[in-house]
Amino acid sequence: MADIFFPEIIVNLPKADIPINGLSSYLLQGKEQQMLFMEFENDVEVPEHSHESQWGAVLSGEIELTVEGRKNTLKKGDTYFIPAGAKHSAKIKAGYKDITLFNQKDRYQEK
């Protein structure tokens, strides 16, 4: 990406292997959780799915997040929580950036 949003301390983390075109994601691996720093270059639709609990903070841009049928539009400064097993989907707009914590140590692998 042309503009660098995340500082060197983050972009030097391992990249996460997430098969979404235009996504840059940096993985911070904990003993029982994973934290991802993500930035989206393109609009993306994430189909409905579920997994362990997830918490996120929107740093920039906009996401339409639907959790168990309830749709919310989130922007810079908003946070969200998805309980374990909750069905959810998202429409992510180009330019979206966030920090996401997964309560799962193996949600994603390093590239």
Q: Which CATH number belongs to the domain containing residue 23 in this structure?
A: 2.60.120.10
Q: What is the mean pLDDT of the chain?
A: 96
Write the pLDDT tens digit of every residue in 21-71: 999 999 999 999 999 999 999 999 999 999 999 999 999 999 999 999 999
Alpha carbon separation from 82 to 10, 14, 53, 90 (Å, rounded): 24, 25, 5, 12
Domain span at 81: 18-102
d(C-alpha 71, C-alpha 66), whole Å = 4
Per the structure, the count of domains in the chain is 1
Give domain status of residue 82, yes or no. yes
Question: 3 lies in a domain?
Answer: no
Q: Is residue 9 domain-resident?
A: no
Prediction pTM value: 0.92
